[in-house]
Amino acid sequence: MNPKSQLIESTLQKWKASWAKAKLVWSPFLRLQEPIWCTTSKAAAQEGLTGSFAMIRLTDHRIVIDLEKVVDENVIDFSVEILAHEIGHHIYTPANLHDNAILMGRIRWALPEIENRAAMVANIYEDILINDKLQRFHDLNMADIYKTLNKKNKPSVFWTLIMRSFEYLWRTKRGALANDLSLHNKSIDADAALIASLIRSYSKNWLDGAGRFAVMLYPYLVDQKQFDKDRKKILVLLDSEKAGLNSPATSGLTELDIEGIEGVIDMRSESLKGDDNLSTATGLGHNLLGGQGPRNIYMPPGSYIDLMKQVNPNANEQKLINAYYKEIALPHLIDFPTEVSQSNSYLLPEGLETWNIGDSMEDLDWVETAIHAPYIIPGMNTVKRTYGKDSDEDMEEKPLDVYIGIDCSGSMVNPKTRFSWPVLAATIIGLSALRAGADVMACLSGEPGKFMETNGFINDEKKLLSTITSYLGTGYAYGIERLRKPFGQQNDKKSHAIIVTDNDIFSMLDSKTPTKQSHWELIEIALENAGGSGTIVLHSSAHYENPKVKRLQAMGWILHYVTNEEELLQFAADFSELNYTTN
Amino acid sequence: MAQVYDLCFHLRKCPPIFLQDSLLQNEDGIDTSAILTDLFRSVSGRFLEVDFNLPKRRQLENQKANYLKSLHIACWLFSHPYFIGRNSLVPKIHEFLFNDLKPICDIVEFEKWIEDEERTEEMVRTGLFACEIQPTGESIDEAIDKLSAISTIDRQEILKKSSQAMKRMMEIRKKMAEKKAQEAANPYGRE
């Protein structure tokens, strides 16, 4: 064993022994798993730790320590301080994924155009809060960690600001931590004093101080080249920047954080008397704060994705957009309409149908599946037994399936970048249907051009939302031809059909078809075969193309007019009420 | 030599009665002239002295309420045993109370002298500086630097400049963001 390996081994023993003491700093009742001790930086990198000697993971509540880096940075003697600091991230700030995401969101508001630096700013803010607590109230020697790190690092202006803030907090002599006096100036002094005051004032309600803190740092982060240099220097301190890596999408973050936005205040102006225009938050969108969607209270989907990807850089964009529309739809979910039909006192086995992955496991008929094919591919050749009616006079309610066709032509907005009302309405109806036990088929169509649809009527929420929240942007209207697949032939199970489109649907109805059957004939047959109600939601005024409207109404289609997109939300709620309020 | 933190601790324990309005401006208030006279008697040790060259009643009446309440608080500070019986400090304290303190009170609200740790320290250090007393454990340069670092007046000038710069920066960024948002916006305009 070489001397460095020996040193790492002895450091490991020492740090392991310090773990209990570090926990005791916070609470004798604290239960937290022992850190993952990595004796090489390579092993630490595999755990996701690079740049610093320690990090936290909020997803599994772990701490990772890179002992090789501990030795390299000569911080061996600060085992209790560093471990207590990491514990502080778990139990004080950010403490959990939700607060971590809120903190990130608040800081993003304070960093217009440089939002990508929010994770670093959040990490520094948390560090100052934790270290101040440990130094002032728990008598740990956090200052000496910085003194040790200072020996290796040539300080920058940004580093000097942070160190000066500690000097104000801990009332040390000038230069005790910010050791390059040539970088000191009155402006840094003033900013550092304000940061120190902020840290003291918001140590308990630290989320409320995040906006102010980020604004204090803003001028120091704007210059890209300088930022790149500063970041390299400060990298060794960044231990919670990736705390939310691989976390699932945190719920409750689609709404604009008004409290957070109002806290984006420049303390420099705040401390000057008579300056009333304090808020520096910038807004993008319909109102000053950029709210979109129902009551303009939601952040734009693009901003939501940016925030969530900053919390978890590995997040899947499609999953995020699904979560976004689902969360907004949740308060509006309806009891899905039901059909009154005779129920069965005895069920008799009849035929077989494909067992899909979303179906219940106990429905899967293994014997019949095995008879059909020697190799079992779930969803492809797996089957389930269907049961037929006996006779009974009892009544039971059974939900109808629903087909949702959405015009996704060029005039539609991309639901990933801006809030889309048709997508919200489809999400509300689709999720309500699934909740009630019905299957849903969704189809996006922008024709002539492209279309995208689910594989028939499905009960898989992920697949459904992924289809609804996709974007085509081709053609001019919903393609009537898309009704052929679900309703070209009569179905055993009745369905509702909803088409969300605009006046261009009439041009589509009149357009030529590759078959002898006209679009008018197809749409009529489709409604008959659907068996349930048929609704065309038209973004139009009520009298447009009146004769053609009457022709559709004569077929049995209900035309629902919306003149602005917000009415689509009302439609989604009214859909059940108007037709099926009996359940 | 004086312990800054002892004096800060003493100042933060200022009795609530000192925070009341002056009797000169509110008949339910406390008597500013009496507090001042008591202070100078204690500091000088001359308990029979009547005239300490204090401002006349009319002069005090015209002062802002914030300044008069700050004056009460400062009197509490100098009532610390460290200052008692040190006659040589009388003219310096006089200078501090009636000249040095006034411009700071245009910026600092009186409650801050007690509630805000940094303002507490500022009053203590400014007071010690006026009295030419070196804080314990600090060199003169260090003491001057620490006072300068927390000085409200010094900071106001710097903050005015940096606040203006920040506003300009935010304004530019805001315009850029709005422009970007307008470009990205594709309102659902049906043909």
What domains are there in chain A, each with its CATH number?
3-237 (no CATH), 331-337+400-580 (3.40.50.410), 344-393 (no CATH)
Among A117, A199, A280, A287, most B C-beta atoms within 10 A, so best to mutate, is A280
How many alpha carbons fall within 13 Å on the CB side of residue A537? Answer: 26
pLDDT of residue A272: 80
- Rounded Cα–Cα distance for residues A570 and B93 (Å): 73
The residue of chain B with its CA nearest to that of A186 is: B158
- Rounded Cα–Cα distance for residues A208 and B7 (Å): 32
What is chain A's mean pLDDT, rounded?
88
**Stretch A543-569: mean pLDDT:** 86
Whether residue B57 lies inside any domain: the answer is: yes
pLDDT digits (tens, 9 = 90+) for A474-497: 999 999 999 999 999 988 889 999
- Rounded Cα–Cα distance for residues A110 and A279 (Å): 10
pLDDT digits (tens, 9 = 90+) for A333-361: 866 555 565 555 567 788 888 888 888 88
Chain A positions touching B153 (Cβ under 8 A) are none
* DSSP one-letter string for A206-219: HHHHHHHHHHHHHH
CB within 8 Å of B47: residues ≥ 6 apart: B41
A112 at interface of B, judged by CB pairs closer than 8 A: yes
pLDDT of residue B165: 84
Choose among A174, A266, A539: nearest Cβ to B190. A539
For residue B151, how far is the Cα from the chain centroid? 9
pLDDT digits (tens, 9 = 90+) for A276-327: 555 555 543 334 456 788 888 898 898 899 999 999 999 999 999 999 999 9
Q: Which two tokens stand for residue A556?
A: 């049995």
Evaluate if residue A438 carries a pLDDT over 60: yes
Same domain, residue pair B178 and B117: no
Q: Is there a contact between A139 and A24 (Cβ–Cβ < 8 Å)?
A: no
Are B177 and A112 within 8 A, CB to CB?
Answer: yes
- Rounded Cα–Cα distance for residues A387 and B98 (Å): 98
Cis peptide before A112 (omega within 30 of 0): no
Same domain, residue pair B81 and B162: no
Same domain, residue pair B36 and B129: yes
Beta pairing class for A450-453 and A440-446: antiparallel
pLDDT digits (tens, 9 = 90+) for B93-138: 999 999 999 999 999 999 999 999 889 999 999 999 999 999 999 9
Are B156 and A272 within 8 A, CB to CB?
Answer: yes
Q: How many distinct helices (H) and strands (E) make up chain B?
A: 10, 0
Evaluate if residue A583 carries a pLDDT over 70: no
Same domain, residue pair B130 and B165: no
CB within 8 Å of B169: residues ≥ 6 apart: A218, A219, A222
Are A174 and B176 within 8 A, CB to CB?
Answer: no
Evaluate if residue A143 carries a pLDDT over 70: yes
CB within 8 Å of A59: residues ≥ 6 apart: A97, A244, A245, A246, A247
Same domain, residue pair B142 and B165: no
* SS3 of residue A463 by DSSP: helix
Same domain, residue pair B43 and B133: yes
Q: How many distinct helices (H) and strands (E) make up chain A?
A: 23, 13
For residue A58, how far is the Cα from the chain centroid? 16
Evaluate if residue A80 carries a pLDDT over 80: yes
Choose among A186, A275, A504: nearest Cβ to B158. A186
pLDDT of residue A462: 94
**Which band of pLDDT confidence, cut at 50, 70 and 90, is reported for residue A433?**
confident
**Stretch A103-109: mean pLDDT:** 93
* SS3 of residue A38 by DSSP: strand
Dihedral pair phi/psi, residue A54, rounded to 5°: -155, 155
Residue A304: how many CB atoms within 10 A of its CB?
A: 25
The residue of chain A with its CA nearest to that of B189 is: A411
Query: Where is average pLDDT lowest: A259-268, B123-132, B178-187?
Result: B178-187
The residue of chain B with its CA nearest to that of A216 is: B166
Same domain, residue pair B64 and B80: yes
Evaluate if residue A2 carries a pLDDT over 50: yes
CB within 8 Å of A419: residues ≥ 6 apart: A292, A293, A298, A300, A301, A413
Whether residue B39 lies inside any domain: the answer is: yes
Evaluate if residue A236 carries a pLDDT over 80: yes
Whether residue B190 lies inside any domain: the answer is: no
Kindly state the percentage of chain B with pLDDT values over 90.
Answer: 59
The distance of B177 to chain A (nearest Cα, Å) reads 7
Same domain, residue pair B129 and B38: yes
Whether residue B191 lies inside any domain: the answer is: no
Same domain, residue pair B96 and B172: no
The residue of chain B with its CA nearest to that of A538 is: B190
Same domain, residue pair B82 and B143: yes
pLDDT of residue A340: 60
Whether residue B118 lies inside any domain: the answer is: yes
Are B191 and A411 within 8 A, CB to CB?
Answer: yes
- Rounded Cα–Cα distance for residues A130 and B77 (Å): 33
Same domain, residue pair B9 and B97: yes
**Stretch A37-60: mean pLDDT:** 94
Domain region containing B77: 4-150
Whether residue B189 lies inside any domain: the answer is: no
Q: Total domain count for chain B?
A: 2
Query: Where is average pLDDT lowest: A20-29, A281-290, A407-416?
Result: A281-290
Question: If 0-12 CB within 10 Å is exposed, 13-18 middle and 19+ buried, where does residue A545 land?
Answer: middle
Among B155, B178, B183, most A C-beta atoms within 10 A, so best to mutate, is B155
Whether residue B187 lies inside any domain: the answer is: no
pLDDT of residue B10: 96
Query: Where is average pLDDT lowest: A5-14, A381-390, B42-51, B86-95?
Result: A381-390
CB within 8 Å of A374: residues ≥ 6 apart: none
pLDDT of residue A285: 34
Evaluate if residue A78 carries a pLDDT over 90: yes
Q: Is there a contact between A447 and A478 (Cβ–Cβ < 8 Å)?
A: yes
Whether residue B81 lies inside any domain: the answer is: yes
Same domain, residue pair B21 and B61: yes
